[in-house]
Amino acid sequence: MADFSVQSSEKAIGVFDSGLGGLTCVSELMKLMPSENIIYFGDTARVPYGTRSKETILEYARQDVNFIKSFDVKMIIAACGTVSSVVGKQKDFAGDVPFTGVVIPAVQAACAATRNGRIGVIGTAATIRSGAYGKAIRNIRQDAVVIGNACTMFVPMVENGITDKNDIVVKEMIKRYLEPIRRENVDVLILGCTHYPILHEAIAEYMGEDVRLISSGAEAAKFTMNMLAGKNMLSERTESGKVSYYTSDSKELFEANAHAFIGSRLMGEVTQISIDDIIQK
């Protein structure tokens, strides 16, 4: 097993997603560890991943990981519920670089939060089809009842800025996808895609105040902080870290929409790359 402790604590944390959703994880990383440098790649030219086959998702994920690894990072986060579900527990998916997806961190938080053992999960079609969240939940709590539903239109809605809780499209889609879960009396709902926290207000209002929402991206950020701390790999710099953004589609669209995910004005340079650049890494 590789000795991760020998790696420089001052290297960046790498984060990737199929689009902009992983920025919700980046936002949490910046709050928890403001001195860390972060490399973010959003594969916006191929979003969404959730409607693709398992083989295609794995191919894209390997290409994304290799691109991130080209920056010599100290850890990689697959801030994508679809990739995390398909990759499963392969902690060595990034080779000798520490790696985590969003499934295990979110599941651990959900199992700790539930009172009645009834846990809802929403994600892309590929995520729900994989059954990864249900398997992980029952590994921790065998008596848990897991109710999942694929929310196919959520990612396209979010990527196109259709997120206002009062928007008629948002209301209709929320009702269509969440009604089967709400009637099952869940008390915890895992937002199994990092795009979904952008719909947090609308989802929370529909589910009611007795249902706790778990953001998979935010939980992955907490998991990363604890993991790096345990390996003595947290940055020791005193100044604020830098965030570098890479996108496989329009730089202008990335810059225009990213603020909704990052929670503030985008700080850091955005670079557009081609799919060929990713494949060749």
- Scanning 79-199, the segments in alpha helix (DSSP H) are 81-87, 103-113, 125-130, 132-140, 154-159, 168-182
**Is 111 a residue of the active site?**
no
Catalytic pick from 25, 111, 151, 193? 193
Per-residue pLDDT, 6:
41
Per-residue pLDDT, 65:
96
Contact between 51 and 151 (Cβ < 8 Å): no
Query: Chain-centre distance of CA 183, in angstroms?
Result: 26
**HSE (CB half, 13 Å, CA atoms) of 91?**
7
How would you classify the pairing of strands 75-78 and 118-123?
unpaired
- Scanning the chain, the segments in alpha helix (DSSP H) are 23-32, 54-69, 81-87, 103-113, 125-130, 132-140, 154-159, 168-182, 200-207, 216-230, 251-262, 275-280
**Is 193 a residue of the active site?**
yes
Q: Per-residue pLDDT tens, the chain, 281 aa: give them.
A: 444 444 578 999 999 999 999 999 999 999 999 999 999 999 999 999 999 999 999 999 999 999 999 999 999 999 999 999 999 877 789 999 999 999 999 999 999 999 999 999 999 999 999 999 999 999 999 999 999 999 999 999 998 889 999 999 999 999 999 999 999 999 999 999 999 999 999 999 999 999 999 999 999 999 999 999 999 999 998 999 999 999 999 999 999 989 889 877 788 999 999 988 778 76
End-to-end CA distance of the chain: 24
Per-residue pLDDT, 281:
62
How would you classify the pairing of strands 13-17 and 270-272?
unpaired
Per-residue pLDDT, 279:
80
Contact between 77 and 64 (Cβ < 8 Å): no
Catalytic pick from 25, 80, 111, 151? 80
Nearest 10 degrees: Cα torsion 8, 29, 66, 231: 40
Per-residue pLDDT, 89:
73
